[in-house]
Structure 1
């Protein structure tokens, strides 16, 4: 591990892991922590948009991600198991991006992929480690971390990659602007059976 970390990354989801990978490949010392026991075990977020793939192309692994995911070529709307409509998405961004499609790549698989890239660089996430507080200290940041015991640590920068309920954002009193959907959405990982479209990879939204 690189010595004397100047940067603390809080959160080891895809955003934090990509930040860590970019710092590591430039030999910039950092620590990455997450209060969870380990990486996620469910799909959660599914879509990877063209701009993300363009970013991954700079890292040299866009094609690996595409091979592991499913391109959303067409969306079929079914009513009582009969196709009523079809929406073509395979070339939605043609002429705007070298990746003119939406890729589905479950977040748990995405995280495992990025963790593998970090492991190849000798980087490990500090799981079960929580940011309790932070405060400006001179030209840097003083933090209170908790793993098996509490630790006071100093960094030059802190990166808040800890999601919608970000401790970093709350500590800094930064407003999280946006609106809530009136509808309720559920994400489930289930085993299914039944007819699929022949010669195509399939994903169903119910």
Structure 2
């Protein structure tokens, strides 16, 4: 029987991110998918700022940003007459602490391509045409698809066969009356420019009837259209003509189409024994706010370093923090995306509320603050970027290691990054007192694990919460 340390089931963005994170840490990993080959569907097209930071760390951001574009301005029509133009939100400039300030658009098939390319560079290929019909586990490992692994992760989507095999309840609701037609379409000529997101609907009620969004890196548009409970758009061309009031929008090809029903669901558990759930297998969102793909990527980013650490000898209890940290985040995101879908007056604004930069693990067992005088930056928060003399903090974070930051005048600590005046000033705005000094331990996934005044607290944290075997000196 074929053996590996971790078997990843599902080769969407979540599974690919996890496989990359494990492979770059030297963990033997295999990734399988039931599909015969890569998907050509646009699906989730929004990449939030925090996900861009993850892709930076994983070494894939350059390929992503070479094709991705900011969301285009929206142009609303009545027939072929433009009646309104606007944007989803105000653009934000990059800042020392936030190098990727805004959401960018890239169709999912191209995001997956960039991730597969990075995975291939690490020596791992997706094994397509490999369904998981059964899954068994014992005290020593997991068996699925003829593969024996120490751990397995189900990243196989909302209809997850792994979740069903584990008999884990998928709590929540499917709203059959709230459906949407989705498709990728190619038009015969340039009657619609590719600089705008073209929409038709009722401006007074803000009710969308039809949207056609140009997809970067392709010559197609993503079609989105809410449907009535009994509506079935069998003839998509006729449907577009009726919804737009125009007979000149003729497309030559439909490369993908789907009928989406709103699912708001959360797995009751993210783990059963040696098997974990991640991404849509663990939580199903509405598409509003561009949260689903991004939440799944960060599930993988949270789980990858913990699996690697335990396989390297860290205490297995570290794996318990995966559900403890990520399940509450998914629950919050489910509420946020539902408010956006419903158009509630209480809905957050797109931007800081949806960019996932403020996602935190403050209540985690891995979040420790021993400072005498706590400040705004707390253990469990995302560690901000800051300029250094030879690059940035994110450059130092990049890679599989944890990082220790030393703020003068704190005593020197072996392998710690001593911050220059500019970086100390940047962190000063987050409550680090440049007069008192201190230390910050940044976890391998870029979150603050420890804030401390003294070096002994750092040594204790590295040898217990993170396990010193997973702390690497920073060059």
Instruction: Tell me the TM-score normalised to structure 2 length.
Output: 0.38
Q: 1:126 to 1:11 in 2, by over 3 A?
A: same
Deviations along 1:150-169, whole A, 9 cap, x unmatched?
x3x32111111100111111
Partner residue of 2:181 out of 177, 181, 186 = 186
| Alignment partner, residue 74 of structure 2 | 75
Unaligned runs of 5+ in 1: 146-150
Does the aligned pair in 2 maintain the 1:24–1:121 contact within 8 Å? yes
In the TM superposition, residue 129 of structure 1 has moved relative to its aligned partner by 0.7
Does the aligned pair in 2 maintain the 1:74–1:90 contact within 8 Å? no
Does the aligned pair in 1 maintain the 2:3–2:148 contact within 8 Å? no
| Alignment partner, residue 17 of structure 1 | 16
- Distance in 2 (alpha carbons) for counterparts of 1:35 and 1:134: 14
Structure 1 consecutive aligned stretches of length 4 or more whose deviation exceeds 4 Å: 92-97
Unaligned runs of 5+ in 2: 199-210, 213-475
Q: 1:43 to 1:83 in 2, by over 3 A?
A: same
In the TM superposition, residue 44 of structure 1 has moved relative to its aligned partner by 2.1
- Distance in 1 (alpha carbons) for counterparts of 2:99 and 2:23: 26
Q: 1:172 to 1:49 in 2, by over 3 A?
A: same
Q: 1:164 to 1:97 in 2, by over 3 A?
A: farther
Does the aligned pair in 2 maintain the 1:10–1:160 contact within 8 Å? yes
Does the aligned pair in 1 maintain the 2:33–2:127 contact within 8 Å? yes
Q: What is the DSSP-based 3-state SS (H/G/I as helix, E as strand, rest coil) of the residue aligned with 1:185?
A: strand
In the TM superposition, residue 70 of structure 1 has moved relative to its aligned partner by 1.8
Task: Decide which structure has the larger Cα Rg and report it.
Answer: 2
Q: 1:56 to 1:196 in 2, by over 3 A?
A: same
In the TM superposition, residue 9 of structure 1 has moved relative to its aligned partner by 0.3
- Distance in 2 (alpha carbons) for counterparts of 1:179 and 1:91: 35
- Distance in 1 (alpha carbons) for counterparts of 2:133 and 2:193: 48
Q: Which fold has the larger relative contact order, with Cα–Cα distance below 8 Å and residues 6 or more apart in sequence?
A: 1
- Distance in 1 (alpha carbons) for counterparts of 2:68 and 2:192: 21
Does the aligned pair in 1 maintain the 2:141–2:150 contact within 8 Å? yes
Q: 1:30 to 1:194 in 2, by over 3 A?
A: same
- Distance in 2 (alpha carbons) for counterparts of 1:71 and 1:178: 33
Deviations along 1:10-55, whole A, 9 cap, x unmatched?
0011111111111111110011101111000222222212221111
Higher helix proportion (structure 1 or 2): 2
Q: 1:12 to 1:195 in 2, by over 3 A?
A: closer
| Alignment partner, residue 148 of structure 1 | none
